[in-house]
Structure 1
Amino acid sequence: MGQSKPHRPIAIVVEDDDIQREMLALLLKERNFEVLQCEDAETAALALKAKHPTLMVTDFNLAGKMDGVDLAHFARQQNADVRIIVISGRPLPRPLPPGAKFLTKPVYPTALLAEAAR
């Protein structure tokens, strides 16, 4: 019989800037998350349905029809327990779903990891 691998929590990182997305993913991988990277909200919506992550980190400004706030509401509808972090350099134009957190850019790694660990 084979040994089963320990369960790693899944995180989705949604960011259209490749460098920012890779940096966020690397931080979470160092904290033992399995990270799925998405460059737009539509791809992230598919990943949310298929993978049932414990954490989603998204930028507010995204390519496509949904922005980060729309995606946060979609994620909350899919999974009431998913931790959601929305990042932006500006104030958000409308409220996030209950329990979602907002971090301003530049995002400090310690602040992101503290929210991810909650």
Structure 2
Amino acid sequence: MEQPRPLRGKALVVEDDPMQRQMIGLLLEESDFDVIECASAEAAEVILQYDGEALDLMMTDVELAGYKDGVELAHIAKRCNPALGVIVTSGKPLRRKLPDGAKFWSKPWVPLDVIREAERMVLARDGRR
């Protein structure tokens, strides 16, 4: 008898540097996540409005192309899906308050941390279901 496959996680990666965005996406895909990639907060906001409830994790840089930054996006994301795991990263100190439950990672972060956080998000999601 075949074992039921666990549901794949779903992640949103928001980073205007294509190499960083691709690397994060690959790490998450290796952790059994379906990944949506965006280069701007404005593009990510559209995803959040239409599919935010289906997301388990969002990882964003503070500095993004466009008019909104990653801190603003973190607040939007948490309004769309309060259970969403949100990670905001920057190479500079964070000077603004993140929404409750969001995490700040200073760059450079370790790729293994992305994998661990992804696994933690899936376990948290499965515990809610």
Q: TM-score, normalised by structure 1?
A: 0.91
Counterpart for residue 21 of structure 2: 21
Which letter maps to 1:104? S
Counterpart for residue 103 of structure 1: 105
Q: Distance in 2 between matches of 1:39 and 1:50?
A: 17
Q: Distance in 2 between matches of 1:113 and 1:8?
A: 14
CA RMSD, 1 decimal: 1.5
> Deviation at 1:114?
2.0
| Aligned counterpart in structure 1 of residue 83 of structure 2, from 68, 81, 87 | 81
Of residues 24-33 and 89-98 in structure 1, the stretch that sits farther from structure 2 once superposed is 89-98
Structure 1, unmatched stretches of 5+, are none
4+ runs of 1 displaced by more than 3 Å? none
Counterpart for residue 57 of structure 1: 59
Structure 2, unmatched stretches of 5+, are 121-129
Counterpart for residue 36 of structure 2: 36
Percentage of identical aligned residues: 49
Cα deviation code 1:22-80 (max 9, x no counterpart): 00000000000000000000000011122221100000100111111000000000011
Counterpart for residue 94 of structure 1: 96
> Deviation at 1:6?
5.8
The 3-state SS of whatever aligns with 1:91 is coil
Instruction: Please identify which structure carries the higher helix content.
Output: 2
Which letter maps to 1:26? L
Matched, 1:70 2:72: yes
